[in-house]
Every structure is written in C-alpha cells, then in structure tokens.
C-alpha cells in the first residue's frame, strides 16, 4: 500500500500532477492516494520533495536520492559505449562473480514495464549449465534431422541451419571442450522470461549494457531459444511450462578477445513527418 505522511506533506500537488493514473487527490489539504486504482509505479515516491510518500509493497531501503554526479551519463560517452559493444563468443575459463550477476539482474529489474506490470523474471543457469548444454545440442540435432527429412520449398531456407545443428552436435560429441559452438565455454547463461515481449526485450537490452559495464561479454543466443521450443526436458530444467515466454538468453562470461575500435553501420532509415 502507498501512503502519505500527513505531517510531512506540504500539499505541493506535484504527485497529483505526475500520477499517470490520476489516483492522488487533496483531502483536507493533504495528498491522498486511492490504492484501489494505483499501479504502484512509484512516481509519487520519486517526485515528492519532502519524502512524504512511502510503500510497504517494495523495499524502501532501495530508494536513492538523486545526485547529478553519480546519476548522469555523458551523452557522447553513452553513444560511444553503445557503438563499441560487440557480441562476444570467446570466453576465458573464469567464473562470473555472484555480485556481478546481481547487478545484471538489477539492470533488468529496474527497467520500465508496460503499466508497471513488472512481469519479467530470470533464470540464471550456472550449476546446471553442462546439463543444459547437452540437452540443447540434442534438441537442435533432433530438430535439424527432422527438417532435413521433411524439406519443402517453405522450409528450404532452414536447410543451412539444420546441417549446422547436426554437424555441431557431432563435433561436440567428439570433443566437447574444444567444439562448443553454442556456449563457447561460457560459464553462465541468463534466460529472460516474460509474457510481454516488449518488457522482456527492454530488460534484456539494459542487462546487456550492464554486462559490458562490468567488463564482461555476452551474446544473445537465438539457437538456445530454438532448442527450448517444445522441449520438455529443457523447460523442466529451467522450471518453465511455456517456451513462448522465453524472450532472450544471454550467454555471459569474461571475454577472451579485445576489440580496438567501433564498426560502421548502415545509415539510419529515417522518415521525418
């Protein structure tokens, strides 16, 4: 429940004006929140100049006061940071610290969600990464063989991937340490789960930025999402029932590669109206 401390409230109306669902009003000269219509977005907590608003729905100890020096990111530096990021597929034999994993999750947790649904969750795979790897190779091999055995003009475009999956499986079985073309021997994978693709996608993007800021590397594995589709063993391992709610999978580790510069891109396709 969101509450207003009447002794602190100065009736400045800033929370009333900023509330996106209009559930705050003045009663007896003080702000009053109708919790029945509240979406718990916490705008009122963020904007109140006298800290009169609080909630027991979330941990108020997480609230940090704005400080320009620590909250501001230079625009040019941010753009260069985004330009410089690379999908990493060469990892060192080094575990990722739990503290860094927590910061990556927090980057997703504090990302905006539609109607403040906060409907994004995370599956962190470390201890069972070897088991997941074996299941993923097996699943993709089976899917590849099924595609090759039932090629049609509509599925012809999948032939290249099908051959790749079968070949990768065989090479992995021969030498799993040197032929891991799914995880590239990374020590960690994080699955982002949500019934709302845009929410999971936004969280995933911010998580990737945090990965880079922590000196780690990652790539989004579409093959792991494909492996999980309809595969009960993988879904059971992840504790999931619906593979359609897997929005992304970040394979993460310490990069064993050093890039020296940004790369060019196509000009932006912009329509000004």
Question: What percentage of residues in the chain have a pLDDT greater than 70?
Answer: 100
CB 56 within 8 A of CB 132: no
Q: Residue 197: which of 232, 238, 225 has the closest Cα? A: 225
pLDDT digits 0-9 by tens, 16-75 = 999 999 999 999 999 999 999 999 999 999 999 999 999 999 999 999 999 999 999 999
Question: What percentage of residues in the chain have a pLDDT greater than 90?
Answer: 99
- pLDDT value at residue 245: 96
Q: Residue 134: which of 81, 88, 180 has the closest Cα? A: 180
The CA R_g of the chain, rounded to the nearest whole Å, is 23
Domain(s) labelled CATH 3.40.109.10 in the chain stretch across 75-253
Beta partners for residue 24, in sequence order: 33
- pLDDT value at residue 231: 96
Residue with tokens 């409230």: 9
Confidence of residue 271 (pLDDT cuts 50, 70, 90): very high
pLDDT digits 0-9 by tens, 172-182 = 999 998 999 99
CB 136 within 8 A of CB 239: no
* Mean of all residue pLDDT scores within the chain: 97
pLDDT digits 0-9 by tens, 176-220 = 989 999 999 999 999 999 999 999 999 999 999 999 999 999 999
- The residue-averaged pLDDT of 135-163 equals 95
Domain(s) labelled CATH 3.30.70.20 in the chain stretch across 2-62
pLDDT digits 0-9 by tens, 115-146 = 999 999 999 999 999 999 999 999 999 999 99
What string of H, E and C letters represents the secondary structure of 157-216? HHHHHHHHHHHHHHHHHHCCCCCCCCCCCCCEEEEEECCCHHHHHHHHHHHHHHHHHCCC
**Which fold is adopted by the domain 2-62?**
Alpha-Beta Plaits (3.30.70)
**Phi/psi at 83 (5° precision):** -65, -35
- SS3 of residue 90 by DSSP: coil
DSSP-derived secondary structure for 234-249: HHHHHT-S-GGGEEEE
Domain 75-253 has CATH 1.20.120.420: no
Element containing residue 31 per DSSP (H, E): strand 30-33
- pLDDT value at residue 99: 98
């Amino acid at each position: 429940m969101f509450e207003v401390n009447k002794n602190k409230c100065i009736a400045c109306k800033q929370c009333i004006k900023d509330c996106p669902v209009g559930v705050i009003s003045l009663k007896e000269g003080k702000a009053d929140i109708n919790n029945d219509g509240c979406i718990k977005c916490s705008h009122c907590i963020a904007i109140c100049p006298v800290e009169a608003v609080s909630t027991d729905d979330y941990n108020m100890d997480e609230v940090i006061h704005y400080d320009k020096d620590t909250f501001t990111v230079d625009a040019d530096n941010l753009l260069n940071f985004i330009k410089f990021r690379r999908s990493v597929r060469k990892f060192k034999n080094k575990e990722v610290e739990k503290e860094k994993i927590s910061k990556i999750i927090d980057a997703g947790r504090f990302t905006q969600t539609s109607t403040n649904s906060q409907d994004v969750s995370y599956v962190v795979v470390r201890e069972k990464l070897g088991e997941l790897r074996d299941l993923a190779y097996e699943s993709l091999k089976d899917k590849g063989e099924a595609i090759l055995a039932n090629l049609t003009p509509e599925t012809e475009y999948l032939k290249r991937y099908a051959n790749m999956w079968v070949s990768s499986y065989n090479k992995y079985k021969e030498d799993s340490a040197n032929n891991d073309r799914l995880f590239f021997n990374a020590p960690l994978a994080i699955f982002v789960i949500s019934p709302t693709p845009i929410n999971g996608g936004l969280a995933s993007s911010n998580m990737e930025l945090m990965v880079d800021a922590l000196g780690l590397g990652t790539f989004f594995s579409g093959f792991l999402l494909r492996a999980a589709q309809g595969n009960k063993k993988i879904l059971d391992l992840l504790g999931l029932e619906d593979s359609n709610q897997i929005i992304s999978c970040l394979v993460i580790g310490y990069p064993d590669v050093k890039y020296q510069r940004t790369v060019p891109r196509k000009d932006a396709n912009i329509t000004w109206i």
